[in-house]
Amino acid sequence: MDIRPQAVAIPAETDHLDKGKYGPIYPKTPACYGFSILAKIIPGREPVFHEYAKSLAAAVTAQPDILAPLKLHYLRWLLFPINGDTYFMYQGIFDTDFDKYTEDAVALFGAAGVRTVFENLEGFPMDWQTNPEGFAKFVRAHQVPSFLEYGEYPFFSSDEIKKALKMKSAVTEMLDQLQ
Amino acid sequence: MSTQLELDDIQSGVLRPRPTPYVATYIAFRVDDRNSGRDLMRRVSQVVTSAANPTSPLADTWVSVALTYQGLKALGVPQKSLDSFSWEFRQGMAARYKDLGDTGESHPDKWEQPLGSSDLHVVLVAVAPDSERLEAALNRASEAYRAMSGVTAIWRQDCHALPTETEPFGFRDGISHPAIEGSGIPGTNPHEPPLKAGEFVLGYTDEMGGTQTTEPEILGRNGTYVVFRKLHQRVAAFRKYVKANAKGSGEEELLAAKMMGRWRSGAPLALCPLHDDPALGADATRNNAFLYEADDPTGLKTPAGSHIRRTNPRDASIAGVARIHRMIRRGTAYGPLLPEAVLEDDGADRGLMFAFVGAHLGRQFEFVQSQWINDAVFIGAGDDKDPIVGSDLNGANFTVPRKPLRKRFEGIPQFVVTRGGEYCFMPGLRGLRWLSELDT
């Protein structure tokens, strides 16, 4: 099997892209679907972000498949300073098209009782749980598209990767049993 | 206390399951003069029946009316009101062709005219248990538009239930119907809790906790979005494929059932995976009473890629939340039946007039079409497509999980071609009167 790494340069202009409800539709890249959201936090809220980190980690420990329906690979949350203000970056890599699954994400977070840390960002719609359009518009307004993406194992879904790991484990188990 | 729907303001066609058997006619109109168009709304509002009084003798015969975005414009609806409708509705079905998978032979350039054009403004649907009563309903409706200048009937499609009570591929149709809070109309799956009214009717709380309204509120309240699609079915090609990929009639029927998720009788694989059970198929109290996750998570009975499991995954593990993508779906056959056992196409146009009813074109109809029918990431199966209604198939794959080894079917040809369709809005009765009284 040939697993050939791929990189793709993403042009700044979006005129060539199809337009969806919330703006240009960014195609899947070798690094799957994903987004990077950058926004200024409400001043003084830094501790809330750290509390949120603990509560989300605890929620995943208690219910490991809580985010599984989002078909994620990785999520990263960052806080960093610019000119004395604190900014937030959220970067997600997943297999589903965000434009299509916005409402699902909102419904999943809502059903799991997980508040979103986005509530501590300036301009975020506080009625997000009943206003997925407002949620999507905020996200799109603060999304910074990549200009370059790379995949070491391009386009593989998290389902395929998990299946491959289970297969490896099953084969290992089988070989052990043959000793 | 759950919501009560204002059934006396909701058109019958929105909620009421169609009678069995039944016949239906779709008529599309172009409005050249806004005052005539408004007069049409006034006249039609007197013919349209509401969803109240389900036990009335006339309950099984009804006329419904819906407007396209271009139709609302033709009536002179103010821009502020037009902008309050959903984004997808404002684009129209033809403009959404890529997301819907209407490419290749289903491309809007190849659609039957005037479907997909800006001439299609108003759609009238008449439904009745038999052609006699349909004729009576059509006569009543035609009094509303006959001899009106400025309004022209530009397209008509007659549909009928086949004598076999099946859709043209030969499967029992019209089995699944969701329960809707406050409608008083029971759903067909006792294991599915009723969906919030706002999933199907504007002006009520939906599953997300939101409420859709229009400007002014009366225009949209108790209305809903309706999608019409004329779908040509290649019945001979379907029969040939099944025959070529199975040995003997028993295996053929099993393959057809695996593709659909039900035997031809309507009996679900979930409840009788090894052989057909016509009594179960015909029993409306049992033929939709099942879930997947506890009993069949890997699809050994009902493949995850089969048509009915894709279009309603129930409680199966998938990407996202199934409940926010439910819809009321209705189909009525058109064209002649292809005689049994015929494997060569006779050139006749036959298929289904598909109708969707729901308050969310984007997360219901378009989502199901793009994510559940024409993709398989949601079930972890890459870019496989629905083996029966998938768009632009030509070479798609379908996996049937089995022990000890799965069976993979490759190179599935396209069995369903889109002939055209449109996104419409079906107003409540007060909304219709508001349209008739416009004075812009």
Strands (E), B249-317: none
* Range name among B55-59, B210-214, B409-413 with the lowest pLDDT average: B55-59
Question: What's the pLDDT tens digit per position in B318-355?
Answer: 999 999 999 999 889 999 999 998 999 999 999 999 99
Q: Is B322 on the interface with A (CB under 8 A)?
A: no
Mean pLDDT of B172-186: 91
Predicted TM-score (pTM) of this structure: 0.95
Residues of A in contact with B317 (CB under 8 A): 68-69
Nearest CB to A108 within list B98, B321, B380 = B321
Residues of A in contact with B87 (CB under 8 A): 21
| Cβ distance of B380 and A160 shorter than 8 Å | yes
What is the average pLDDT value for chain B, to the nearest integer?
Answer: 93
- Residue B398: pLDDT above 80? yes
Q: Is B362 on the interface with A (CB under 8 A)?
A: yes
- Buried/exposed code over B411-433 (b: 16+ C-beta within 10 A; e: otherwise): ebebbbbbbbbbbbbbbbbbbbe
CA distance A50 to chain B (A): 27
CA distance B306 to chain A (A): 19
Kind plus residue range of the DSSP H or E element containing A55: helix A46-62
Q: Provide CB contacts within 8 A for A106, sequence distance 6+.
A: A128, A129, A132, A135, B208
SS3 content of chain A, % helix, strand, coil (to 5): 40, 25, 35
Nearest CB to A100 within list B98, B207, B370 = B370
Q: What residues pair up with A86 in beta bridges, in sequence order? A: A81
| Cβ distance of B380 and A163 shorter than 8 Å | yes
Residue B153: both structure tokens together: 């009937």
Mean pLDDT of B160-167: 80
Q: Is B401 on the interface with A (CB under 8 A)?
A: no
Task: Output the furthest CA–CA distance in chain A (Å, rounded).
Answer: 63
Please report which confidence band the pLDDT of residue B218 belongs to, taking 50, 70 and 90 as the band edges.
Answer: very high
| Cβ distance of A103 and B318 shorter than 8 Å | no
Kind plus residue range of the DSSP H or E element containing A137: helix A132-141
Stretch 56-115 of chain A: residues touching chain B, C-beta under 8 Å: 68-71, 95-97, 100-101, 103-104, 106-108, 110-111
pLDDT value of residue A94: 93
pLDDT value of residue A115: 67
| Cβ distance of B207 and A129 shorter than 8 Å | no
* Range name among B19-23, B100-104, B370-374 with the lowest pLDDT average: B19-23
Mean pLDDT of B73-95: 98
ipTM of the complex: 0.91
Q: Using alpha carbons, select from B306, B318, B310, B309 the residue that is nearest to residue B291.
A: B309
Tell me which of B89, B377, B378 to substitute to probe the interface with A (most A C-beta atoms closer than 10 Å): B377
Q: Provide the edge-to-edge strand list for the sheet that holds A85-94.
A: A33-40, A85-94, A72-82
Please report which confidence band the pLDDT of residue B306 belongs to, taking 50, 70 and 90 as the band edges.
Answer: very high
User: Which chain B residue is nearest to residue A108, measuring alpha carbons?
Assistant: B321
DSSP code string of B72-96? HHHTT--HHHHTTS-HHHHH-TGGG
Q: Provide CB contacts within 8 A for B104, sequence distance 6+.
A: B391, B392, B394, B414
* Range name among B15-19, B77-81, B407-411 with the lowest pLDDT average: B15-19
Mean pLDDT of B287-295: 97
Q: Is B378 on the interface with A (CB under 8 A)?
A: yes
| Cβ distance of B378 and A107 shorter than 8 Å | no
Nearest CB to A96 within list B99, B377, B382 = B377
* Range name among B235-244, B264-273, B330-339 with the lowest pLDDT average: B330-339
| Cβ distance of A130 and B210 shorter than 8 Å | yes
* Range name among B158-162, B196-200, B261-265 with the lowest pLDDT average: B158-162
Query: CB A57: neighbour CB atoms within 10 A?
Result: 10
pLDDT value of residue B394: 66
pLDDT value of residue B344: 97
The sign of the dihedral angle between the CA atoms of A57, A59, A62, A67 is negative
- Residue B1: pLDDT above 60? no
User: Which chain A residue is nearest to residue B367, measuring alpha carbons?
Assistant: A100
| Cβ distance of B320 and A101 shorter than 8 Å | yes
User: Which chain B residue is nearest to residue A72, measuring alpha carbons?
Assistant: B319
CB-side neighbour CA atoms (13 Å) of B172: 22
- Residue B232: pLDDT above 60? yes
User: Which chain B residue is nearest to residue A104, measuring alpha carbons?
Assistant: B320
Q: Is B382 on the interface with A (CB under 8 A)?
A: yes
Tell me which residues of chain A have a pLDDT lower than 50: none
| Cβ distance of B320 and A130 shorter than 8 Å | no
Question: What's the pLDDT tens digit per position in B118-141?
Answer: 999 999 999 888 888 888 888 888
Query: CB B184: neighbour CB atoms within 10 A?
Result: 14
Query: CB B156: neighbour CB atoms within 10 A?
Result: 11
- Buried/exposed code over B201-238 (b: 16+ C-beta within 10 A; e: otherwise): bbbbbbbbbbbbebbeebbbbbbbbbbbbbbbbbbbeb
Residue B373: both structure tokens together: 């029918």
Most confident of A126-130, B175-179, B389-393: B175-179
Tell me which of B204, B321, B364, B371 to substitute to probe the interface with A (most A C-beta atoms closer than 10 Å): B321
Residue A88 CA to residue A46 CA, distance in Å, equals: 10
**How far is the CA of A77 from the CAs of A46, A90, B204, B220, in angstroms?**
12, 5, 36, 41
φ/ψ bin of B31: left (φ > 0), alpha (ψ from -120 to 50), beta (otherwise) = beta
Q: What residues pair up with B11 in beta bridges, in sequence order? A: B50
| Cβ distance of A107 and B207 shorter than 8 Å | yes
Kind plus residue range of the DSSP H or E element containing B410: strand B407-412
The reply to whether omega before B21 is within 30° of 0 (cis) is yes
Q: Using alpha carbons, select from A11, A76, A80, A7 the residue that is nearest to residue A41.
A: A80
Nearest CB to B319 within list A71, A107, A163 = A71
